[in-house]
A = this chain, B = another copy of it.
Amino acid sequence: MSFNEAFKAIADPTRRKILSLLRKGDLTAGEIASHFDMQKPSVSHHLKILKQADLVQDRRDGQHIYYSLNTTVFQDLLSWFYDFVEKEGKKQ
């Protein structure tokens, strides 16, 4: 069900940058927001979309909310692309 949601989530450059940031380690919402020229509520909105697409997970630690990558959906998306590249010419 979240296959389409994931593709839509990844279509936005801000969200792709968030995912790239999280590749180096978990970050709080505030730390993520500090990388963008954008108000915090806007970044929060992007995080919500990534979460709904199951591309990230969040956990609260006191006042902070930490975000981390969830790579299981990436596996599915990777497979989708792999089929185009791999099965080239095989017509099946």
Contacts and interface: CB of A to CB of B under 8 A. Distances in A.
Interface of A: 4, 7-8, 10-11, 13, 16, 19, 23-25, 69, 71, 74-75, 77-78, 81-85, 87-88, 91-92
- Contact residues of A: prevailing secondary structure: helix
B10 A87 contact: no
Contacts of A85: 71, 74-75, 78
A2 to B, nearest CB: 13
Contacts of A91: 23-25
Contact of A4 (B4, B13, B69, B84): B13
Nearest to A80: B16
Contact of A7 (B10, B23, B75, B78): B10
Contacts of A16: 7
Given A24-B91, A75-B85, 6 more contacts: A24-B92, A69-B84, A74-B84, A74-B85, A78-B82, A78-B85
